Amino acid sequence: MADDEAIDLPEPSLKNVLDQTSLQWVFVGGKGGVGKTTTSCCLSIQLAKSRKKVLLVSTDPAHNLSDAFCQKIGREPTPINGFDNLSAMEIDASQEAVSELEDSAEDDVFGQMFADLQNSIPGIDEAMSFSELMKQVQQMDFDVVVFDTAPTGHTLRLLSFPTILEKAFAKVWELKDRFGGLITQATALMSGGSDPAAAQEQLLGKLEETRAVINKVNQAFRDPAKTTFVCVCIPEFLSIYETERLVQELSKYGIDSHNIVVNQVLFPEKDAEELSDWYESAKATLPKEAQQVCSKLLARKQMQDKYIGQCFDLYGDDFHVVLMPLLDYEVRGVEKLKGFSELLVEPVDLEE
């Protein structure tokens, strides 16, 4: 019976993400400092093996893709050295559409009206810029887009933008129906009386176009066939706690999440008891300094095992939980990222 239950447990790898060819959007997120960028880079490298065109997008204002790949990456898709089907770009979703709006505001009255409308609804400016980003990414015709996101709070706000905009536009349309005459007079006043009907039509047309994009994005985000979220954490209390909050919030937004990557794991193929037995048997032969090092290492390993156990208790039945080892070198540059990425799909054998 136990063997049957073990067989039914999700595989501890991200092969399921690679095998799901319908996926178009893959978000990688979690608490700050847990290895989101490394994980998103490695996942993109693996996806590039089976997809025609892969785009990795950093939405974290503190970008790290350039550092990870050891090459300059900007606001436009930049081909990654050593690949012919993997590109990356670093953008700030909260600033992406600001310059465009300022330019349009200078050009005509309609642009000023649209900018004023955005400024009148709290948070809608950032949400609108996110919609412009999504529109831009959709037009690039990539098979799959991987988002290296900012720490959890910023990411949750980012993912809530489609819902925020949907509600905002519903309110605008409700006001339009209730106060159509007043809106016409206000439009005439703002347009200087030149052609109020045309100005109103242009404003509403722009809003309708943006709403259509937002609805499409919202539907895609809530479609598990097209979108999934990979949670990244480390085996420590605050990170595990934040992951639980993230999973709950994603569920509230209707966004699929069934993969968790646990980074910086000390000797994932061994458990603390096994190492403790070895240490007790060899302790007398070790110098004092080595005893201190081993003692601290074992304390850290025991703490990690405790939280890894909690992680499997919480998610092991429904999530693919991948343990990624702590290495004795930095994972920077294409070759090291390629090597590390293999552990996402061929994880350490915990039964050895």
Average pLDDT over residues 76-88: 94
Whether residue 307 contacts residue 236, with contact meaning beta carbons closer than 8 Å, is answered with yes
Say what the pLDDT of residue 297 is.
92
Angle at which helix 152-178 crosses helix 180-190, to 10 degrees, equals 100
Say what the pLDDT of residue 195 is.
57
Q: What is the dihedral of CA 229, 234, 240, 243, to 10 degrees?
A: -20
Report the predicted TM-score, pTM, of the whole model to 2 decimal places. 0.81
Quote the Cα angle for 193-194-198, to 5°: 105
Poorest-confidence range of 75-89, 160-174, 315-329? 160-174
Give the highest mean pLDDT range of 209-218, 220-229, 282-291, 301-310.
301-310
Whether residue 212 contacts residue 165, with contact meaning beta carbons closer than 8 Å, is answered with no
Say what the pLDDT of residue 156 is.
74
Average pLDDT over residues 233-258: 92
Mapped onto helix, strand or coil, the DSSP state of residue 268 is: coil
CA distance 211 to 170: 9
Average pLDDT over residues 282-293: 90
Kindly tell me if the per-residue pLDDT of 125 is higher than 50.
yes
CA distance 103 to 112: 9
Say what the pLDDT of residue 2 is.
47
Higher pLDDT, 328 or 221: 328
Reduce the secondary structure of 213-235 to three states and give it as a string. HHHHHHHHHCCCCCEEEEEEECC
125 Cβ neighbours under 8 A, 6+ residues apart: 98, 118, 119
> For residues 234-248, b (16+ Cβ closer than 10 Å) or e, as one string?
bbbeebbebbbebbe
Poorest-confidence range of 18-27, 195-204, 322-331, 340-349? 195-204
Tokens 């999504």 sit at which residue? 134
Average pLDDT over residues 156-170: 71
Say what the pLDDT of residue 75 is.
86
pLDDT-derived band at 34 (thresholds 50, 70, 90) equals very high
Phi, psi of 172 (to 5 degrees): -60, -45
Average pLDDT over residues 70-84: 93
Poorest-confidence range of 116-130, 197-211, 275-289? 116-130
Tokens 């015709």 sit at which residue? 141
Say what the pLDDT of residue 105 is.
46
**DSSP code per residue over 275-315:** HHHHHHHHGGGS-HHHHHHHHHHHHHHHHHHHHHHHHHHHH
Kindly tell me if the per-residue pLDDT of 311 is higher than 50.
yes
Kindly tell me if the per-residue pLDDT of 263 is higher than 90.
yes
CA distance 240 to 267: 19
State the catalytic residue, choosing from 4, 8, 19, 60. 60
CA distance 290 to 278: 14
Higher pLDDT, 97 or 15: 15
pLDDT digits (tens, 9 = 90+) for 198-242: 656 666 676 777 777 777 777 888 899 999 999 999 999 999 999
Round the average pLDDT of the chain to a whole number and report it. 81
pLDDT-derived band at 91 (thresholds 50, 70, 90) equals confident
C-beta atoms surrounding 50 within 10 Å? 12
Say what the pLDDT of residue 261 is.
97
Say what the pLDDT of residue 1 is.
43
Active site residue 60: yes
pLDDT-derived band at 124 (thresholds 50, 70, 90) equals low
